[in-house]
């Protein structure tokens, strides 16, 4: 795969389309992106791709033990959800009057800046 520029950002709502938490017609799986790693081309989505991790007892975590935490997944497993039309969509780009690049929903054409 080439070096496609990642178009998902922290704070975006995405729909999971592949992997163990992929959406089905009966159960749409969406969550907020809590971190992105452009070098690895992965995203971490709140509540998705949950793994169990052993943690040691610390001052914050008095209990220690096993915690459930979302693990990174390949960015190709998710699609951005448009803030305007609420559909999962591919992302286009346009150049605004001030020269900045704006993400655009390819379904409805709306700008998708946060
Ligand atoms: Zn849209």
Q: Is the pTM above the cut of 0.85? A: no
Residue 54 confidence (pLDDT) above 90: no
Q: Which whole number is the average pLDDT over 58-86?
A: 88
* Secondary structure (3-state) at 13: strand
pLDDT value, residue 30: 97
Angle, alpha carbons 82-83-89 (nearest 5°): 0
**From ligand 1's centre to the CA of 53, what distance in Å?**
37
The predicted-structure confidence for 9-33, as pLDDT tens digits, reads as follows 999 999 999 999 999 999 999 999 9
Cα-to-centroid distance, 104 and ligand 1 (Å): 8
**90 C-alpha to center of ligand 1: Å?**
9
SS3 76: helix
Cβ–Cβ under 8 Å, residues 23 and 41: no
């Amino acid at each position: 795969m080439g070096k496609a520029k990642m178009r998902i950002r922290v704070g975006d709502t995405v729909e999971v389309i592949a992997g163990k938490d992929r959406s089905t017609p009966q159960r749409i799986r969406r969550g907020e992106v809590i971190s992105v790693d452009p070098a690895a081309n992965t995203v971490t989505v709140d509540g998705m791709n949950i793994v169990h991790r052993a943690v040691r007892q610390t001052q914050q975590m008095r209990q220690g033990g096993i915690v459930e935490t979302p693990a990174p997944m390949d960015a190709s497993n998710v699609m951005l959800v448009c803030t305007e039309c609420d559909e999962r969509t591919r992302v286009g780009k346009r150049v605004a009057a001030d020269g900045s690049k704006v993400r655009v929903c390819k379904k409805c054409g709306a700008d998708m800046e946060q």
